[in-house]
Structures are given as C-alpha cells and as structure tokens.
Structure 1
Amino acid sequence: MSALHTADIRQSPLGKALSMVPLRDTGDRWAGHWTSEDKDAPQTAPVVVSFRQTTQSPQVARAPLTMAKFNVHDVALPDIKLSPEREASLIAEVEAVVQNTLELRSAFAAGGRQLDTSAWKLVKTKDDVRAYRSRRALHGVDPTEGRTDSSDAHSSSSSSSSRSTMNKLTSIASSASSNDSDQFRAKKTARPPAVVLSGTVDGTAEDAVLGMLADSEQHCMMRQSYLGTELEDSRLLFVLARPTPENPFTFIGVKWGRQSYGRFSQARDFLFLEATGITKDARGEPVSYGLRQSTDLSDVLTLPRSHDVLRGHLSVVQTFANSGIPVAGTRHHSVEMFSRAFLQLDGDVPVNVAATAFADKIMALVGTMECATAYKLTWMMKQSARQARPGTSVHGSTSHCANCTRSLSRFSTLLLQRGGTCQICRRSFCGKCSVNKRISIGIGSEVMQKSMLFCLECLLEAKQVSAREVAVDQQKW
C-alpha cells in the first residue's frame, strides 16, 4: 500500500496540521492542495507530493512539477531512405487530404459560409476571420468516424441539401486516404476536438502560400518569427518535393516536433507531413494551401521519445482562394480563407483546452499576408542594394520629408513622430509618411528580427510585387 492516502494528515511547510487531498495520480507524484481541517482556513496553492511504495511519509517538492527537456535536434538519427513507392504514397496522401478539404470548402460555401451555433462555438475572432470549435468535441462523437472530423461536416445553413452535402463529404473523407495508419485510427478517441476557421483577408492566394512556405530549417525559423505557428521544438527530417523555378511554392517534407501543454500535462511529439502549394478547385480557380498531417513511418524509422512525452496526432489544412471582393476599407485584393483542423492528444489535456489552444495557433495564420509582405520588402531591399551606386547612402534632401515636404528638424520630428530613411528608396520621410516593419534576417543558423523603416510608397509597391518572383529568388537566399 502506498504511504499516501486520500486524506493524510501531515505537517505542512507552515507547521500546521493540514490534509492532503489528491487531484490526480501521475505515477510517482500526486498533485493536490494542502487544506486545513479548519473549514474557514484559506486553501493553499497547489503542491506536488512524491511517494514510494513504503510506509515513509511523503516529501513535499519545493518546485512545481516540470517536464524533462527533450530537444529533437539533439537526437542522432540514421539516414532515412524511402522506396520510390513509399514516397509516392506519401505524396498521394497529401493530395488526397487537400482534395477532401477543397470539397469541404465548396460545401461550406454552398451553405452560405455559416455554421450552426448549436454545434459550433465561436472561440476567437480577428478582423473578418472567425475560429469555431466543435461543441461535439466536448459531448462526444462516434469513434468509428473517419480521419477528417465529422464535426467539420456540419453546416448551419437552413438548406437541408447543404447539410446533406457536408455529411456526404464526411464519408468521402473517411475513406479517402488509403495510407492512413491503423494505429492512427485506433488512437482516435470518441471526443476529437475540431476547429474550423473562415473569413476574408487582404492579399492574394500566391501571397498566402509565400507566407506559409518553409522548405528549410532557416525558413521555418523565419516563419516562426513572423507567425509563431511552429511547434516549440521541430526538425525537418527529409524532403519529398522541393520548390523549383517552375513550381516555386511546392514543398512536401516530413517533420518531427514536440510541444508542451502546461506544467501538469505531458508533452506531445508529432511526426507529420508538411506541404504547401497551389492547386485548382472544381471551378478551375487557383487555391493555395498549407498542410500538416500526421503520418506513420514506424516500419522504416524509430524515433526515440522521453518517458514523459506522448505521441500526438494532427490534421490541419489551410486554404486561400482569390475572392475578388475588396477587404472593407481597402482597394486591395482579398482572399477567402478556410481552414479545418483535427487534434488528438490522448492523456490528460482537457479536450476544450486543446481545441481552443489549437484555434489560437491556426488564427495566427491570418498574419500569413504580413509575413509575405515582409518577404517582399526584404526582396526589394536586396534589389535596391544591387542597384545602388557605391558610396551612395541617402537620396534627396535630408532636411525635409520627401513626401509631404515637412521639415525634418529635431523639433519637428518629435512633434510628427520619429521618421527616418526608407530602407528601399533611401529617401528621408517624416513619421506620418513612413512605417516601421519587423524584418527577420538570417545570420548563419540563427534568425534575428529588426524594426526597419519604410515609406508608404515602397510599402504599397511591395504589396503589388509578384509573390511568385519573390519565391523563385528566395531559393537563392
């Protein structure tokens, strides 16, 4: 019998007789509260108690329970070689998942781009984009349902035919990928959290895929610096398809990553396919996509795992299609954004917590356009540097703003906000005619971010630069 009982009277660190009420058994530690036998006494903060299978008294840890650090980059792995047939099957899996998402996207549009509030809960909004969590994630679904979440397939449209279409797509999605592992299906519990995100953002489909593309470790760090969507610790294991001048947005790779979920929850690791590219929908319109899809390579690769890490499973697809409808208050192009996500963590992470946190991560993809703009500004700076004459620093007058001609004296600069020299055209501007943007710079294996000033004219020009041209040139960076 364990030395720790349900209500064990011990001496607390304060020297008073208190009762330990366990909250959860984590193996060799119990987390709980010391509570006084006096009902009017305040409850203390949570503590962690270690115990052994002896009659000794438990020892109260002075620090919260922490997880052992496990860095996937420190793990030595053998060279991974897949047969051509296996590589083709992984690529086919990506294509099938993307196609299923396009079908869900079409059904969602047919339903008026609305979700039934009795089945979906709004958890986050940003500008014109909304993220919803399936309420069925909390109340349970049929565990025999397929890989693409059935809760992705319930539109709130008053049209019964739309609901029928979404239900039909569920069955299509469940059998779409012949390469789904039996292990993955078996692990899917009766309460999978589902997230759907939709809305309109400023930009183009090519801008979106430029912002999502991360075909190398450094590009992953670049994307993380702008979007913050990476796992805490991730590693590119191998590449199945690289960007080319003809297809500069196409990338398929296999990545391994780790993510923690709080002090008292075990971390999860994920082995997944990541892909970006541009395809066409049923109407022949271009749609850009970004995908992360758990996969199983246990027959060719054994990944070590710390004792406190569980294997998680995810399936996330983001799509962006040109809408032709200007964003409110702008004259720029806009895209319709549609994302669907499934996350299976197992273990002790509450389903609603996991789903809501996942929605936050996906919502960060609204910043994809800003990421693309930053890449374009970087490209324009490189172009400007190539064309600059040796010894040339600033063009034009430095005493007046090149746009509004206001004086750039120290006193005027303080009144009109701080201005400076545009990093592209090298002209001087006041604070009202310029803007500061965070630009990430790769230095060796590291990425640093710096605030740089650009004039409004160059910023607008950057938004019009071809994302394809930047992506082609980016392969040389």
Structure 2
Amino acid sequence: MSSTSSERDTSSTYAQERLYLTEEEARGLEDLADQVVLDTLAFYDRFRFVEKRVVNSEAWKDVGRRDNLIVYRERSGPRPTYPSIRDLDGRLQIVPCRSAPSVKIVGWLQGTLEDEMYGLFADTDDSVQMRSSYVNDTVEDFHWLANIAEPTQEDPFRYCGVARCTLGRSLPIVKTRDACAVVSMGMTTTKHGERLGYYVVHSVDLSEPASNRHYVRAKASLCWLKCEQANGKVELYMKGFAAPMGIVPEFAAFPVLVTAVLGVAQTSDAAYSKKLHWMIRDTADAGHRTTPPPMDEKAVCSTCQVVRKIPVEIVERRVTMNRCSLCILCMHRAKTASSVAFARREMRSKRWKSIDNPRMSITDTSEDLQPTATPNVPDRAFFETR
C-alpha cells in the first residue's frame, strides 16, 4: 500500500454551543423524528403496494440519475403554493417559501444494510465531517447541540440529537443558509417483517436569541428509508423538501438539495473507507504478527490496485486525506468485514474521548455513557456559548 496526504478545510465559524433540554423536551423531539419516519413509511408502502413502484410522471419529474437511483422533483402544477412541516405538537405548519419543491429518490443500493448504516452513522462533529469528506455533501460548520439517544452494543447505529449546520458557502448576492434540526438514525423492523434503516433531518424552532443568527435560517424535512428485501438487496426510498427561505430562485436552490440528499442516499462506499481507515491503523500499530496483517504491504501492479482517498484524522478541524493504493484483496476484505463489529469498536473508542465532549447528554440510553446533569440555573437560557 502506498499513500499521499492532503487536507480538507472544515473549520467552523460557529461558537461551540450547548443546548439544554428537559427529559420531556428531549422525548418530544425524538417522538417528532419518529413520526416523520412513520409518515415517510406510509408513502413508501403506497409506492410499493399501490403504485407498484411506478412514479406518477404527471406529479413528479425525473431530474437525474446516479447508479441505480432516480431523483424526482415535484412538478409545479399539483404542488401547493407553500410546503408544510410538522411541529413539536404534531401539527402541520405552513413554510412561507415558494422555491421549495419536494424531492423523491427511489432505487436500489449496492451494499448491505449494515454497510449503508455504518457509512451513514455519525454521532460527533468530527464523524460528520469525516462523512462529508466521503460523500461530498453540502454541509459545512456542523455542530451537535445536544444528545437525545445514543448507540449501544445491541443497537450500534442508533442516534438522535439536535444539530446546527450551514449549507454551502456565501455568494456575493446570496447569503449562506443555516439550519437547526433534530437528526435521528437507526434500524427497525417494518410491519412486513423487513429490516429497515432510517435517517431523518427535520427542522425545529427553538428559543434561540435572534442576535445569534448570522445566516438565513432554512427549513427542511427529509427522510431516507433503506429497506432490506427478501433477496438481500436494499431498496432506497427518500422523500422530503428543503426551503431556503428568503429570495432564492428554485433553479439555484434545488441542485444544492439534490447533492445533499444523494450523498446520504449512498453510503456503503463510505463504510468501506471507514473500515479501511481502521485496517490501515491496525497495520501501522502492529509490531509483528504470525498471521498476515489486515493490509498487505506489498507492491501491486496497476491492474490489481484500487486508488482511494481515505480520511485518517481531523486536526484543528481539518480532515487529513490519504491517497492510498490498495490491492483488490484488501478491498474485498473491507467489503466483507462486519460493519457492526467496526461500529462497536468505534463506540468503545469514542467512550474514552467523551469526557472532553462539550455537548449535553439528555437521556441515559447507553450503559457505557453516563448523562450529564443540567445545571440548576433559574430562568436558564436555551443556549449557552463557551
């Protein structure tokens, strides 16, 4: 294996803030995310069993394809003037933004469900930045404000939290958009007995001082469903919308949305890179072994090698990328290795770093991670900046 290094700047302009939630507030946010999954699952069932996996071309326009996925934009005719979004009380609220068409992605994924969820999973600021370097999405300045549900050994892909991020960079005449959302991910079983992975990003309005807002606040409600079929294949169904707010033409906003949702749609390749990261690390740390190391340090001909950029670490909010030449045997090992085992290993590794994590832990969902108590401050502010 050979490698060269490069860096990707992910420096954040945000002050690192913490969000204080009561148990009731946290549970309400988790329930809201769960309801978005149920709403999307109802659309998915209709797509499968009523529409027979045929998208209505009168309501949806085919606007792009990637591998086995098709991206659709809701046509302007039947679309309501404004989209609506579910609030914490379960009611639908109108979002006053015209340039917010719904997007839908359907198709088939190449990896296993575990690979998709491992590549998708991110429960720290650094892991989100790492994932962005894999999938090249439009997310910048990502910061988790609060934990709500955390992974366990039995459920290593479960996480729910509140986060803030910016979407893209400022342009001369268009201000950068930011978003505050509850993000939820995990695996469950459908009423048909199928294993289902889900990922939700749903905007929430919190008691944040207006003076803290440096960007235009966008709103979004997006849900990705990854369903394992009886033949072992994984089907993707994604539906949602993103409203940039303000005055932004649809032709400028929609391509940014498509880039972001496609990045999260296909994450098995990110899982392979994450596994390779650990395999390379094991090889570097190994003194001597009686069995071959996970990564073969041998010369490889050009026809038997794969060149990949693998993020290896984040130093001062910069992702260090290694351009590695890997043999096809190592790639095969990475693809067939258990994603669950690697996810559990990451969880154990992060446990030792959690003492330096500034986020507030809300619910005690892990035996290994203890919740941090909310300070008893009268009339506490929702946000605290350090």
So what's the TM-score if we normalise by structure 2? Answer: 0.79
For the residues of structure 1 that align with 2:235 and 2:260, how far apart are their CA atoms? 18
Is residue 2:343 matched to residue 1:433? Answer: no
Report Cα offsets for 1:161-204 as digits up to 9, x if no partner.
xxxxxxxxxxxxx7xx653577xx24344663100001112111
Give 3-state SS (helix, strand or coil) of 2:329's partner.
helix
Is residue 2:319 matched to residue 1:447? Answer: yes
1:179 to 89, 92, 102: 89
1:57-456 correspondence runs (5 A): 73-75=13-15, 77=17, 79-110=18-49, 111-136=51-76, 140-141=79-80, 143=82, 146-147=84-85, 179-180=89-90, 185-189=93-97, 192-259=100-167, 260=169, 262-298=171-207, 304-306=212-214, 309-323=215-229, 334-385=233-284, 387-389=286-288, 424-445=295-316, 446-456=318-328
For the residues of structure 1 that align with 2:164 and 2:90, how far apart are their CA atoms? 18
For the residues of structure 2 that align with 1:353 and 1:121, how far apart are their CA atoms? 17
For the residues of structure 1 that align with 2:110 and 2:206, how far apart are their CA atoms? 39
Bigger-Rg structure (1/2): 1
Report Cα offsets for 1:405-436 as digits up to 9, x if no partner.
xxxxxxxxxxxxxxxxx980223321111211
Give 3-state SS (helix, strand or coil) of 1:196's partner.
strand
For the residues of structure 2 that align with 1:178 and 1:304, how far apart are their CA atoms? 22
Contact 1:384-1:424 within 8 A present in 2 as well: yes
For the residues of structure 1 that align with 2:322 and 2:72, how far apart are their CA atoms? 34
Give 3-state SS (helix, strand or coil) of 2:267's partner.
helix
By percentage of residues, which structure has more strand? 2
Shift, 1:468, TM fit: 0.7
CA gap of 1:214–1:127, structure 2 versus 1, over 3 A, is same
CA gap of 1:186–1:146, structure 2 versus 1, over 3 A, is closer
So what's the TM-score if we normalise by structure 1? Answer: 0.64
CA gap of 1:89–1:75, structure 2 versus 1, over 3 A, is same
CA gap of 1:233–1:208, structure 2 versus 1, over 3 A, is same
Shift, 1:256, TM fit: 1.1
Q: Gaps (5+ residues) in structure 2?
A: 1-10, 351-386
Query: Could you say which structure has the greater relative contact order, defined with CA pairs below 8 angstroms and 6 or more residues apart?
Result: 2
Shift, 1:366, TM fit: 4.6
For the residues of structure 2 that align with 1:469 and 1:230, how far apart are their CA atoms? 29
For the residues of structure 1 that align with 2:176 and 2:278, how far apart are their CA atoms? 38
CA gap of 1:366–1:99, structure 2 versus 1, over 3 A, is closer
Q: Which segments of structure 1 move beyond 6 Å, counting only runs of 4 or more?
A: none
Give 3-state SS (helix, strand or coil) of 1:114's partner.
coil
For the residues of structure 2 that align with 1:428 and 1:443, how far apart are their CA atoms? 29
Q: Gaps (5+ residues) in structure 1?
A: 1-70, 148-173, 326-332, 396-421
One-letter identity of the residue aligned with 2:19: I
Deviates most, 112-121 or 249-258: 112-121
1:170 equivalent in structure 2: none
Give 3-state SS (helix, strand or coil) of 1:428's partner.
coil
Q: Percent identity?
A: 25
One-letter identity of the residue aligned with 1:205: L
CA RMSD in angstroms, aligned pairs only: 2.7
Shift, 1:384, TM fit: 3.9
